[in-house]
Amino acid sequence: MSSDHREPSLDVGLLSPVSAGHDESVSDAAILDALVTAEVALVRGLARVGALDPGAAERLSAEYGWTDSGCRGHGLSATDLALAAVDGGNPVIPLVGALRGRGVEPDAIHRGATSQDILDTALMLVAREALGRVIADLDRAARALSAFADEHAGVVTAGRTLTQHAVPTTVGARVAGWVRGIRRAVHRLREARDALPVQLGGAAGTLAATVDEWGTDAAAALPSAFAAELGLMAPDAPWHTERWPVTELGDALVQAVDAVGKVAADVAVLTRPEIGELAEGRGGGSSAMPQKQNPVASALIRSAALRAPQLAATLHLASAFAVEERPDGAWHAEWPTLRELLRLALGSSAQAAALAEGLVVDRAAVARNLALSDGRIVSERLARVLVPRIGKERFAALIGEASTGSLAGALRALPEAADLDVDALLDPAGYTGLAERFVGDATAPDSGRA
Amino acid sequence: MSSDHREPSLDVGLLSPVSAGHDESVSDAAILDALVTAEVALVRGLARVGALDPGAAERLSAEYGWTDSGCRGHGLSATDLALAAVDGGNPVIPLVGALRGRGVEPDAIHRGATSQDILDTALMLVAREALGRVIADLDRAARALSAFADEHAGVVTAGRTLTQHAVPTTVGARVAGWVRGIRRAVHRLREARDALPVQLGGAAGTLAATVDEWGTDAAAALPSAFAAELGLMAPDAPWHTERWPVTELGDALVQAVDAVGKVAADVAVLTRPEIGELAEGRGGGSSAMPQKQNPVASALIRSAALRAPQLAATLHLASAFAVEERPDGAWHAEWPTLRELLRLALGSSAQAAALAEGLVVDRAAVARNLALSDGRIVSERLARVLVPRIGKERFAALIGEASTGSLAGALRALPEAADLDVDALLDPAGYTGLAERFVGDATAPDSGRA
Amino acid sequence: MSSDHREPSLDVGLLSPVSAGHDESVSDAAILDALVTAEVALVRGLARVGALDPGAAERLSAEYGWTDSGCRGHGLSATDLALAAVDGGNPVIPLVGALRGRGVEPDAIHRGATSQDILDTALMLVAREALGRVIADLDRAARALSAFADEHAGVVTAGRTLTQHAVPTTVGARVAGWVRGIRRAVHRLREARDALPVQLGGAAGTLAATVDEWGTDAAAALPSAFAAELGLMAPDAPWHTERWPVTELGDALVQAVDAVGKVAADVAVLTRPEIGELAEGRGGGSSAMPQKQNPVASALIRSAALRAPQLAATLHLASAFAVEERPDGAWHAEWPTLRELLRLALGSSAQAAALAEGLVVDRAAVARNLALSDGRIVSERLARVLVPRIGKERFAALIGEASTGSLAGALRALPEAADLDVDALLDPAGYTGLAERFVGDATAPDSGRA
Amino acid sequence: MSSDHREPSLDVGLLSPVSAGHDESVSDAAILDALVTAEVALVRGLARVGALDPGAAERLSAEYGWTDSGCRGHGLSATDLALAAVDGGNPVIPLVGALRGRGVEPDAIHRGATSQDILDTALMLVAREALGRVIADLDRAARALSAFADEHAGVVTAGRTLTQHAVPTTVGARVAGWVRGIRRAVHRLREARDALPVQLGGAAGTLAATVDEWGTDAAAALPSAFAAELGLMAPDAPWHTERWPVTELGDALVQAVDAVGKVAADVAVLTRPEIGELAEGRGGGSSAMPQKQNPVASALIRSAALRAPQLAATLHLASAFAVEERPDGAWHAEWPTLRELLRLALGSSAQAAALAEGLVVDRAAVARNLALSDGRIVSERLARVLVPRIGKERFAALIGEASTGSLAGALRALPEAADLDVDALLDPAGYTGLAERFVGDATAPDSGRA
């Protein structure tokens, strides 16, 4: 539609507001940086194990802007590589060509490696950077929500099951549950991040070319050297077509999106105007309706939560179909899927942090809703106390809609209940169980392990 | 990793070789064109029903480069809108601001409309353009494969079930099946394309603002006028939160990817070196192994086929969760998902067309494999003929691995089979049933309806 | 846990209340009936084309309880076949053994057929029966909801977008949208049901064994004869490993679940006690809270809507991976998946019919909620009228939370609005656009085509 | 189809051969046992914390067949409960009625509990039992494959990438990768099993009813007492609508299916008749083709691997949509999904154990295939050695198809290669890198930790 010249798509997030502005760490530029970083790190690793001249490694490092956090300013074009990637099916083939074509230590580049070594490792680097940001944003969200839970630990509210008022709980207890979910997700993300491994095995996962050229000892030492350059883990053996490092990463990411998705689900309900118990600090406007304050952060997070699980499923399918020493499609399916999953985690955790930090409770609305059932919200307690006195049938009539007048009045009029403190019996604040204790457990400073 | 300044992600397909170079029609630029086109078409539609001054519509059309195939060269920035879209949760809000800010007929813009009207309609425009390309590429693929099936209609080959040789079929019959699958998918895509509707309902799907300003008749006529400007269908009523136009589109797209996915699955198997019956005309190289000719098109198509179904599932989830007059996340989940599904259909159909046009059969390999079972590939026929003569047990021994020497020899040595023409009995070419007829049916010029 | 003797699982729906009691048509007993029916129909078809003795077909028909709607009372055990199915990977292999072992016309059974012919055809029979029920229940739901929409066509209610009040709509208009969604789904289900094809191709889809034994003409006529016995369609050619008949069926089923899922999503929100605009006629109780009336039908339908899309995705994956003449796993993945999808459609459509027939509106609650924004629900209209008079800034202050007192009072106090009929301006009933018309279009007796 | 009387579906696995015969631990009977067990354990827990009379707990335990591994022989009917579950939406409501109706300590039953407490806890019990079987079968598979890998550690074979021969590897190295994948999955399953928590929180997760009746201390002690009765973990707080215990379980299960899915994917390819390197010890027959030995275990496992990821995705969706204190559908969606995922893990791990123990290698076929490229399988090495001597162009011609005669002969004829040991250079056995070492690492007795 736009032009005759075939240009690759520019995706700046026009259709993905949840991640727009939060996904630079998974941009094509970032991925290209990581690919170059992996190639240079391999050369540095070879030098470290004595296989290559350290000078060559240094010259390459300088040429491609090696820093402690990867290569920058290397001057390669992601667009050119993207188009050139089609023929061979992956971007590493043209990348190697471009690096060698630069003329700086061309013979040192990509020695003993296969495309998969570079691409898998680069995606682990990208994941590490993205996970760092996701974890930071979830930590922010958990901290803000912990403070919020503490602040509102004593605010009694209607607990709702299947949309209906069930028994009382507290604002703090509900939010403490969110904190637990987020902290568990952070725990999994940290595990995943700390386990991110380099991949280095050559075409069939045997490191044959490396052994052939530099011998068994150098080859055996190389993965650790490579990993040390990159700050990633060295696996027991090349993982190659055993893809659990990818699926475990994906599972942790979707668990993170779930955790904030649950928060957003609750917030979206509780900001409904008829309920009005919560408000996002900063609502979004409308193109036509000036009065609206939409819970935009919640909506965006929920859009991510609706999408992420199916992406993780694709990673699992790719894992199960990772046939032989490199599959005919399953590996290729992982790349954009993992990237999109990282994007969703980045965007939804950033939105969640902002949402958590701005969240506002309307205590009057909480109290008004709590009173809506005229005391029936503690009917579980009433049943325990009254059924033995008046029987099931009369109790049901009392509670049911047939009754007129206030429930308190009806209780006071009951001869069998004459000895009861009706106000205390009906007070929802007296029926919140261990809510306060559960808040304290969740928001204590050392409760972060899960 | 790459910079401190937060830039939206540039996705040029570095990690999506299946669609790189084939997805300009779903690029952010194309989507922005479509959004602008929808806004301008609404003004033109209002003029068409007499609500607005035709001159205003013409001035706006000129300002934003209106052509028969949409607006071009409008000078708006997708990146700016993407970042601005985060606050309100969709890109139409800042778009309307940008259009009005241009100062050309600001009061005519977005009258009576809501973000959803523009975004849903724009995505239908984008889908139409993309579907046109997908259909064209699938037509190319079907034509090439029909010719291929006709050419090899008489080439007998091993039919394989659960990976094992079963009974004979022909190369043509197998490929005719592919053609049927692709033609059916094209049929569904055409149905979907011809049904693509505009969305126009205002905030709650009632066209209240339009009625309020210009009356019932103008409002009732507007959707058709809007649709006429855009060449889309006018629905009976705004579809709004009844999302079947999106899911039916998604289902048609995934069916298309399935159809070429099945082709790629067969090609990937049959190009294995031990089988070698087919070759992609142009194999892809390797970063390290000079001898390799990889079936890259098949692998890329298969990567799309592994991903597309889960994206279509997300569209269905979004449909079922499209609560009230606009949902809190489900609508947002559709946009990037539909785009990615379009991308996969675009890429995989383009790859399939190229694959189909270059496909090569190695008849010697076909014959060699067919002979591999030394005639046992027709054991279904042998059983029918011989079991009545020699009983099940002796037949099983004859066919089983225990037998030594050639099967033909063993048959000739059987007294009970003395009257049989062993060569004819064992000839796979005599046991292909209606294979030839099924090829003809599929490849006849008028067989395109499904 | 339960016993040492390995028994196959008895799944009576203990964990699937949405379908419990509604899924007899997809029970193992029903599937076994269908398998037997397909085997007998094949013999009848062979007799019909003159290949077999009609007497044999009649004797078999009598033995296995052939009726116009399939075989009944055949005395075979689903449990035995299920366990025996493991070795060969499908239940047809032991079924053929059992049928032949019965001793009635053993040589007529399964002639020229392969397991896939019988299993695919049987699943189409099961689908036809199930689709009939789903369609009937959706028709019931659509009729009840049409009447409901007509009855409440004039009841103005808050239209809600992103959970917030947006502009008015009517109860009827919202429900008319549900009707449209359900009718469209019924349209697709009818298309799918009318297209359900027999599968008959032999091991490689060539009908070789049939041709070999009875010649080309008989073989060419057989699929139609087989289809005629079963009341299914005869396809142009065996569909075999082109699996679109399965995926199109799956897509129609999930669209049906989506359609009622959308209804349930709205009902679940609108039955919230703080909103209270709708009630399921018959709410579900709680194990502990006597006051609760849960929207159980909505919850069960929503549970189906959350599950169905991923099942349809599995069918698409199986289609794309249907390699060669029978795949190594993808075909097997279809059976339980299609069955579960049928179950979800059966259960959710039955629940939807009951929900629709019992749905109750609380007009007072509707009115109370509509008034909640003190007129701001028509702020879209107010903006059009007032911004030209008082400017954007003053208008925003007027609408915003900063304002005190009633909006009507504030408007009346505005000198610039002195000429306006404030009551009319603020009346939501005057701002429902074409809502009434859209109801009529949806609920007219002849509106069932989509 | 089968009867007029509505019976719940009997699912004995007729359509699920992968799990038929392996899923008794997730049968309705087993689930009912677990539900009863959870109810009785709650009473026992209450007695343990001093809230109830120990005698009552013992009488109930006796009545319902309490044993160390749960309740048996309680005489309740799963079918009755399944049908009764529809009204309230879950089977616990009628179960409580049935238990109380029995008349044995009716007042002790379900005290302070909600349906979710019982159902969630029961599913954890079922999961524990099922996980035990899955782990045992995967351990069997890993042991058998370790022995297999050791036995064939030195058997050189073609490493294949994108279906094509790449470089050599060994049979042992490939299988050692399988072992690593399975062991990692077992590690995750063990983690998941050891973390399976009871759920006990009452309607809103506060234990209000328990506190109300027996005070804070008893309530606070109850979850641990309940967990102790059942041998499950006591969580820090009720997990309620934080559903990560379910999704982490689901993720571990799908990882297990992936791991054996990868094995099956390789086996399915390598048992192809043209390749023939592996055979399942016991192939499956065909309904029509007597010669066939189908890799049935692989096909069944692959069918599970194609289905499991989408089920895990549903669990994640349910987690993100677990709104408030009990969601309106998402919880219900978990039960049948988790059960089916357990079924797939049970069936595919049992099939994998059998497959692993029967796996056969054909060394002659391995060698024949390895030789297929006439030495080009080591072209990576040849390039390293020869390109410096003869240049890229001549090397490409040498390796390419244009060359005639044997590669060895061509090499010997090269003047520039006169000093090379051509036989050694072309020997694939000399180019397997660290394959042997990687086998040893994987199959060592203490390598089971991941």
Question: In chain D, positions 134-193, which contact chain C (CB-CB < 8 Å)?
Answer: none
Say whether C132 sits in a helix, a strand or coil: helix
Shortest Cα distance from C414 to chain B (angstroms)?
A: 22
pLDDT of residue C9: 74
Q: Would you state the structure tokens that stand for residue A54, as one six-digit string?
A: 């350290």
Q: Is the dihedral of CA C75, C80, C81, C84 positive or negative?
A: negative
pLDDT value of residue B42: 98
| Chain D residues within 8 A of B402 when measuring between CB atoms | none
Chain A residues inside the 8 Å CB shell of C379: 289-291
CB A378 within 8 A of CB A167: yes
Predicted confidence band of residue B444 (pLDDT cuts 50, 70, 90): confident
Q: What are phi and psi of B361, to 5 degrees?
A: -110, 145
C-alpha to C-alpha distance for D337 and C16, rounded to whole angstroms = 9
Could you tell me the residue range of the domain that residue C204 belongs to? 1-113+200-235
Of D47, D342, D306, D80, nearest in space to D196 by CA: D342
Whole-angstrom distance, CA of residue D397 vs CA of residue D391: 10
Number of structural domains found in chain A: 3
Q: What is the pLDDT of residue C286?
A: 63
| pLDDT value of residue A449 | 44
Q: How confident is the model at residue D447 (pLDDT cuts 50, 70, 90)?
A: low
Q: How far apart are CA C97 and CA D287, in angstroms?
A: 9
Chain C environment of A289 (Cβ under 8 Å): 161, 166-167, 379-380
Task: For residues B142 and B26, state if they share a domain.
Answer: no
Asked if pLDDT for residue B378 goes beyond 80, the answer is: yes
Look at C275 and A274 and tell me if their CB atoms are within 8 Å. yes
pLDDT of residue A240: 96
What does each C-alpha distance from A418 to A378, A391, A414, A428, A429 come to in angstroms? 19, 16, 7, 20, 22
CB D182 within 8 A of CB D260: yes
Tell me if chain C has a CB within 8 Å of the CB of B439: no
Domain boundary among B215, B235, B255: B235
pLDDT of residue C3 exceeding 70, the answer is no
- Interface contact D52, partner C, CB < 8 A: no
Mean pLDDT of chain A, nearest integer? 93
Catalytic residue among A69, A77, A286, A406: A286
D100, D111, D143, D326: the catalytic one is D326
Q: Residue D306: which of C17, C126, C330 has the nearest Cβ?
A: C330
Please give the DSSP secondary-structure letter assigned to residue C285: -
**Hey, which residues 376-435 in chain C have their CB within 8 Å of chain D?**
none
Tell me, yes or no, if B322 comes closer than 8 A to chain C by beta carbon.
yes
Asked whether residue B402 carries a pLDDT value surpassing 70, the answer given is no
> What is the per-residue pLDDT for A282?
75
One domain for residues D96 and D223: yes
Cα distance from C233 to chain D (closest Cα, Å)?
Answer: 19
pLDDT at A1: 33
Q: Assess whether C61 carries a catalytic annotation.
A: no
Q: Which of D216, D258, D438 sits opposite A247 (nearest CB)?
A: D258
ipTM of the complex: 0.96
One domain for residues A157 and A65: no
Active-site option among B102, B326, B376, B394? B326
Mean pLDDT throughout B95-109? 96
B235 shares contact with chain C (CB less than 8 Å): no
* Per-residue confidence (pLDDT) for residue A22, from 0 to 100: 93
Query: How many angstroms separate the Cα of A450 from the Cα of each of A189, B105, D195, D253?
Result: 11, 58, 12, 21
pLDDT tens per residue, range D397-427 = 898 865 568 999 999 999 999 999 999 999 9
Type and span of the H or E element at C170:
strand C164-170
Q: How far apart are CA B41 and CA B33, in angstroms?
A: 12
Flag whether pLDDT at D288 surpasses 80. no
| Nearest-angstrom CA–CA distance, C218 and C112 | 12
Residues D142 and D279 in one domain: yes
Least Cα distance to A297 among A348, A341, A345 occurs for A348
- Segment D367-396, tens digit of pLDDT: 999 999 999 999 999 999 999 999 999 999
- What local confidence, expressed as pLDDT, does residue D6 receive? 47
Contact status, residue A144 vs residue A116, Cβ threshold 8 Å: no
Task: Give the residue from B195, B32, B194, B193 showing the smallest Cα distance to B119.
Answer: B32
Which residue in A has a C-alpha nearest to residue B316's C-alpha?
Answer: A306
- Determine the pLDDT at residue D362: 97
A173 plus A291 within the same structural domain: yes
How confident is the model at residue D289, as a pLDDT?
A: 65
Residue D79 has pLDDT above 50, yes or no: yes
Q: How confident is the model at residue A401 (pLDDT cuts 50, 70, 90)?
A: low
Does residue C256 sit in the same domain as residue C389? no
Cα angle vertex A219, ends A215, A222, to 5°?
A: 145
Say if the Cβ atoms of B203 and A337 lie within 8 Å. Answer: no
The average pLDDT across B165-178 equals 98
Which of C26, C78, C115 is the closest to D12 by Cβ? C78
Please judge whether A322 and D265 are an interchain contact, meaning their C-beta atoms are less than 8 angstroms apart: yes
pLDDT greater than 60 at residue C65 = yes
Residues A84, A42 share a domain: yes
pLDDT of residue C2: 35
A171-195 and A115-151 are packed helices; what angle lies between their axes, rounded to 10 degrees? 160
Q: How many other β-carbons are positioned within 10 Å of the β-carbon of residue D401?
A: 9
Burial class of residue D403 (count of CB atoms within 10 Å of its CB; 0-12, 13-18, 19+) = middle
Whether the predicted pLDDT of D46 surpasses 90: yes
Closest residue on chain D to C267 (Cα)? D328
Q: Which helix (H) or strand (E) holds A159?
A: strand A156-161
Question: Which region holds residue D7: left if phi is over 0, alpha if psi is between -120 and 50, else beta?
Answer: beta
- CATH number for the domain that contains residue D170: 1.20.200.10
CA distances from D354 to B103, C242, D174 (A): 75, 32, 19
Closest CA to B18 of B294, B322, B348: B348
Touching C: which chains, 3+ CB pairs < 8 A? A, B, D
pLDDT in tens, B201-255: 999 999 999 999 999 999 999 999 999 999 999 999 999 999 999 999 999 999 9
Enumerate the β-bridge partners of residue A165.
Answer: A160
CB hemisphere CA count around D360 (13 angstroms):
12
CB atoms A6 and B24 under 8 Å: yes
Q: How far apart are CA D253 and CA D247, in angstroms?
A: 10
Helix (H, G, I), strand (E, B) or coil at B156: strand
* CA distance to partner chain D, nearest, from residue B161 (Å): 8
Q: What is the pLDDT of residues A210-254, one digit of tens each?
A: 999 999 999 999 999 999 999 999 999 999 999 999 999 999 999
Residues C20 and C57 in one domain: yes
Q: What is the mean pLDDT of residues C244-258?
A: 98
Q: State which amino acid sits at residue C401.
A: E
Residues C347 and C419 grouped into a single domain: no
Interface test with A, best of B69, B125, B331, B332 (most A CBs within 10 A): B332
| Residue at a domain's end among B235, B260, B291 | B235
CA proximity to C42, closest of C168, C229, C210, C174? C229
pLDDT of residue C83: 87
Q: Check: CB of residue B100 under 8 Å from CB of residue B54.
A: no
Percent of chain D predicted with pLDDT > 70: 94
Is pLDDT above 60 for A3?
A: no
The b-or-e profile of A195-219 (16+ CB within 10 A means b, else e) is bbbbbbbbbbbbbbbbbbbbeeebb
3-state secondary structure of A167: strand
pLDDT score of A450: 41
Whole-angstrom Cα distance, residue B273 to residue B295?
11
Are residues C162 and C288 both part of a single domain? yes
CB-nearest to C379 from A268, A275, A291 is A291
CA D289 to chain centre: 33
Residue C243 designated active-site: no
Tell which residue, C130, C36, C194, has the closest CA to residue C339: C130
D381–A322: do the CB atoms touch at under 8 Å?
A: no
CA distance C279 to chain D (A): 14
Report how many Cβ contacts below 8 Å link chain A to chain B: 330
Q: Do B319 and C180 touch (CB under 8 A)?
A: no
pLDDT at B178 over 50: yes
Q: What is the CATH number for C73?
A: 1.10.275.10
Phi/psi of residue D56, nearest 5 degrees: -60, -45
Tokens at residue D109, please?
A: 């039953």
Q: Which percentage of chain D shows pLDDT scores above 90?
A: 87
Lowest mean pLDDT among A423-437, B5-19, C29-43: B5-19
CB contact under 8 A, D380 and B293: no
Chain B residues touching D396 at Cβ < 8 A: 290
Compute the average pLDDT of residues B417-422.
95
Give the confidence band of C40 by pLDDT, cuts at 50, 70, 90: very high
Q: In this prediction, what percent of chain B has a pLDDT beyond 70?
A: 94
**pLDDT band with cut points at 50, 70 and 90 for residue A403:** low
Chains touching B (at least 3 CB pairs under 8 A) are A, C, D
Measured CA to CA in angstroms, residue C147 lies from A176, B89, C150, C153 at distances of 46, 37, 5, 10
Candidate list A140, A184, A326, A389, residue with the active-site label: A326
More confidently predicted of A258 and A80 = A258
Residue range D188-203, pLDDT digits in tens: 999 999 999 999 999 9
Res C169 pLDDT > 60 = yes
Q: Which of B299-303, B353-357, C128-132, D286-290 has the least mean pLDDT?
A: D286-290
The pLDDT, as a whole number, for residue C7 is: 58
Of the partner residues D23, D209, D299, the one whose CB lies closest to the CB of residue C89: D299
Mean pLDDT calculated for residue range C75-83: 90
pLDDT tens-digit map of B289-299: 667 789 999 99
- Provide mean pLDDT across the span B184-191: 98
On whether both D309 and D362 belong to a single domain, the answer is yes
State both tokens at B10: 């540039």
Q: For A4-8, what is the mean pLDDT?
A: 50
- The answer to whether residues C81 and C46 touch, using CB atoms and an 8 Å cutoff, is no
Clarify whether residues B309 and B419 are in a common domain: no
Contact of B139 with B190, CB cutoff 8 Å: no
Please write the tens of the pLDDT for every residue from A123-148: 999 999 999 999 999 999 999 999 99
Q: What pLDDT sits at residue A36?
A: 98
Yes or no: say if A271 and A359 are a contact pair by the CB < 8 Å rule.
no
pLDDT of B255 reads 98
Smallest CA–CA separation between B101 and chain D, in Å? 40
Nearest by CB to residue C310, choosing from D72, D113, D314, is D314
Q: For the stretch B418-436, what's the b/e string if a residue is b when 16 or more beta carbons lie within 10 angstroms of its beta carbon?
A: eebebeebbebebbbbbbb
pLDDT digits (tens, 9 = 90+) for A38-60: 999 999 999 999 999 999 999 99
d(CA C62, CA C60): 5
- Residues in Cβ contact with D259 at an 8 Å cutoff, skipping those fewer than 6 apart: A242, A244, D138, D178, D181, D182, D184, D185
Q: Look at residues D96, D44, D26, D23 and name the one whose alpha carbon lies nearest to residue D231.
A: D44
| Cβ separation C274–A274 shorter than 8 A | yes
Q: Which of residues 332-351 of D touch C (CB under 8 A)?
A: 332-333, 335-337, 339-340, 343
Ranges B59-63, C282-286, D96-100: which has the least confidence:
C282-286
Residue C105 pLDDT > 50? yes
Q: In angstroms, rounded to a whole number, what is the distance separating the alpha carbons of residues D71 and D62?
A: 9
Mean pLDDT along residues B84-110 = 94
Partners of A113 on chain B (C-beta within 8 Å) are 287-288
